[in-house]
Each structure stands twice: as C-alpha cells, then as structure tokens.
C-alpha cells in the first residue's frame, strides 16, 4: 500500500513537472487558466465562436431559423459527418459534410441555385463546421447564406421536426 502511494506520487509529480515545463518552454503555450465562453443552448442568445469574423455570413437565432424552416424554399445544409446525419437531422435538411466537401458537393450542387436561400448548421454549441461550410459556399458565389449556430442540439431541445435514416453514398462510391 505504502509502495503504491509512493509510486503514484512519483508518477504524478513527474507528469506535472513535464506538463508545466512543456507549457513554459515549448511553442503553442496556453494560459494556465483559460477564458471559456459557454454557449447557452437553452436560451436564444447567439454567441458566435471565437473564430468568427466580422464579415462572416449572419448567425440566426432559433426563432429566425424557425421562420426560415417554415419557408420550403429555404434549404438547410447539414455540415456534419454522414453518420451524424443518419442518426438524426433537421427535417428536409440536405447532407453536405464539410470534411468531405468534394465528395458530396456534386450531389448537393444540383439542388442549389445561386439565388436560393441557404442555412447551414452542425451539432451546435461548440461546433464550427456550419461556419466553415457557409464561408466556403460564399466563396463559390452563393450569397444568401446564414448560419444556424444553435444547430442540431438546439433543434432537438426545441422538439422541432427531425428526420433520420440511411443516406445514399455520392457518385456510386462504396456501394
């Protein structure tokens, strides 16, 4: 028992020394105490992610997203992975995983037109894929883009319409 405690103390102290030393010496230092913003998922405040820029596409509140959803002309794009999309997504939303953009883009492009209104979303709260996807699409010339940053989490919490189920892989890939 005594030996276990002294071994644990030794291993823990070495690790603390290495962790502290690394943060003092090496590049990529982080503050000892970070400043974290909590994105409230129950209220309708929008807290954009730290990486948000002034000229980014607008962020929607839940109420605004709801209004967009009620308009069948607006297309919701799900920026998450296919597995997440299959497990559940905003009803009628179309899958366009940001991390596999080139693979999926051909299947989505035909559904879009430059003047169609687009809303991107991802998991919500701490995920930034919706922002990255919105920026990327705007770079391709789509102008009517907004971001529902509350995302899937907020949508579920509000008991809004959802879909789930398998999605066909693009371009005959996989089979």
Partner 1 sequence: MAFLRNPWLSLVARLIVGGVYVYASFDKIIHPEAFAKIVHNYNILPDVLVNIFALILPWLELVCGMALIIGNRVLGAAVILSGLTAVFIVAVGINVARGVNIDCGCFSTSSHARRLGYMLLLQDAGLLLLSLHVLWRGPGPLAVDRPLESVPA
- Residues contributing to the site for partner 1 (CB under 8 A): 3-4, 6-12, 14-16, 18-20, 22-23, 28-36, 80-81, 83-84, 99, 123, 125-129, 152-153, 156
Least distance from C-beta 72 to partner 1, angstroms?
A: 27
Q: What is the DSSP string of the chain?
A: -HHHHHHHHHHHHHHHHHHHHHHHHSSS---SS-------SSS------TT--TTSPPBPPHHHHHHHHHSTTSEEEE-S-HHHHHH-EETT-EE--GGGHHHHHHHHHTT--TTS-EEEE-SSTT--HHHHHHHHHHHTT--SEEE-TTHHHHHHHTT--EE----PPGGG---
Length of the chain counted residue by residue: 175
Which lies closer to partner 1 via its Cβ, residue 38 or residue 114? 38
Which lies closer to partner 1 via its Cβ, residue 120 or residue 123? 123
Query: Do the beta carbons of residue 146 and residue 118 sit within 8 Å?
Result: yes
45 phi, psi to nearest 5 deg: -75, 145
Least distance from C-beta 30 to partner 1, angstroms?
A: 5
Least distance from C-beta 43 to partner 1, angstroms?
A: 16
Least distance from C-beta 154 to partner 1, angstroms?
A: 12
Which lies closer to partner 1 via its Cβ, residue 11 or residue 168? 11
Which lies closer to partner 1 via its Cβ, residue 5 or residue 175? 5
Least distance from C-beta 63 to partner 1, angstroms?
A: 22
Which lies closer to partner 1 via its Cβ, residue 25 or residue 175? 25
């Amino acid at each position: 028992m005594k030996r276990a405690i002294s071994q644990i103390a030794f291993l823990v102290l070495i690790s603390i020394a290495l962790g502290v030393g690394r943060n003092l010496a090496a590049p990529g230092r982080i503050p000892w105490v970070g400043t974290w913003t909590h994105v409230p998922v129950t209220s309708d405040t929008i807290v954009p992610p730290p990486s948000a820029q002034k000229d980014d596409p607008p962020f929607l509140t839940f109420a605004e997203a709801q209004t967009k959803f009620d308009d069948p002309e607006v297309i919701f794009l799900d920026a998450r992975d296919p597995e997440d999309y299959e497990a559940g997504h905003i009803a009628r939303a179309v899958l366009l995983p940001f991390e596999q953009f080139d693979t999926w883009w051909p299947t989505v492009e035909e559904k879009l037109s430059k003047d169609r209104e687009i809303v991107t979303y991802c998991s919500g709260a701490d995920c930034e894929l919706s922002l990255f996807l919105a920026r990327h699409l705007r770079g391709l010339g789509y102008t009517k883009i907004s971001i529902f940053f509350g995302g899937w989490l907020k949508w579920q919490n509000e008991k809004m319409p959802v879909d789930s189920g398998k999605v066909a892989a693009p371009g005959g890939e996989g089979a």
